[in-house]
């Protein structure tokens, strides 16, 4: 007896089993980006049963979770879901450059906050010392930022000679990220301090 192929709108009997060697989750090819696109896609698919609606909600919840995780991890294949400031191969490369180097700047927020707290309860002489320490810390970070900007310019514009990104914008993007504590950077750092220059900005499909 010849079996009839299932239609696209047939009820799904059970969840599709996962492959044993499933690769890294990737974003959907053409997901609905707006509520209007979602409604149009539902109209084309036709009316859904109660079970199909429940499955569709679960799939949407899982898809949103994957997208959020991809954003947080800085996965370049989720680039279109990132904030506009973080999009593009050049921005990915800049983030990797910053995250692959240890810097004093990433502790600036903690250092400045600590100095501020101590200075409010200390003597005038202690406050003057702390103020000098803050100035010295700021000077070190400025110097680090200069070297970071030079490295960003050398690597990014060598790899993307025809880029339309402005140098100043990329430099400022790098400096802002460098003075953020590593654990608070978003998207999350992909590179370790041992990363090589050839690994920076690489997209693994």
pLDDT tens track for 83-141: 888 888 999 999 999 999 999 999 988 888 888 887 777 677 888 888 888 899 899 99
Q: 52 vs 191, which has greater pLDDT?
A: 191
- C-alpha span between 11 and 48 (Å, rounded): 9
CA distances from 185 to 19, 45, 65, 121 (A): 33, 41, 19, 31
Tell me the per-residue pLDDT of 38-85, one tens digit each, with 9 for 90 and over: 667 666 666 767 776 666 676 667 666 666 666 656 677 777 777 888
Q: What is the pLDDT of the chain when averaged over all its residues?
A: 78
DSSP one-letter string for 101-170:
S--GGGGHHHHHHHHHHHHHHS-HHHHHHHHHHHHHHHHHHHHHHHHHHHHHHHHHHHH-TT--S-HHHH
* Per-residue pLDDT at 128: 83
* Per-residue pLDDT at 166: 92
Tell me the per-residue pLDDT of 6-35, one tens digit each, with 9 for 90 and over: 444 445 555 555 544 444 556 655 665 566
Q: Is the pTM of this model over 0.85?
A: no
């Amino acid at each position: 007896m010849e079996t009839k192929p299932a239609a696209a709108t047939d009820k799904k009997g059970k969840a599709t089993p996962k492959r044993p060697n499933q690769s890294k989750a990737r974003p959907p090819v053409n997901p609905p980006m707006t509520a209007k696109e979602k409604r149009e896609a539902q109209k084309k698919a036709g009316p859904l049963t109660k079970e199909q609606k429940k499955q569709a909600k679960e799939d949407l919840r899982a898809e949103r979770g994957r997208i959020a995780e991809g954003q947080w991890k800085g996965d370049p294949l989720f680039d279109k879901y990132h904030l506009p400031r973080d999009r593009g191969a050049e921005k990915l490369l800049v983030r990797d450059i910053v995250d692959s180097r240890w810097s004093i700047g990433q502790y600036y927020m903690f250092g400045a906050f600590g100095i501020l707290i101590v200075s409010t309860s200390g003597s005038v002489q202690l406050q003057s010392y702390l103020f000098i320490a803050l100035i010295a810390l700021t000077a070190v970070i400025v110097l680090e930022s200069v070297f970071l900007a030079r490295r960003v310019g050398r690597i990014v514009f060598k790899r993307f000679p025809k880029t339309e990104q402005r140098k100043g914008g990329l430099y400022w993007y790098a400096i802002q990220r460098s003075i953020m504590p590593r654990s608070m950077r978003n998207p999350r750092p992909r590179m370790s301090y041992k990363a090589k220059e050839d690994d920076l900005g690489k997209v693994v499909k």
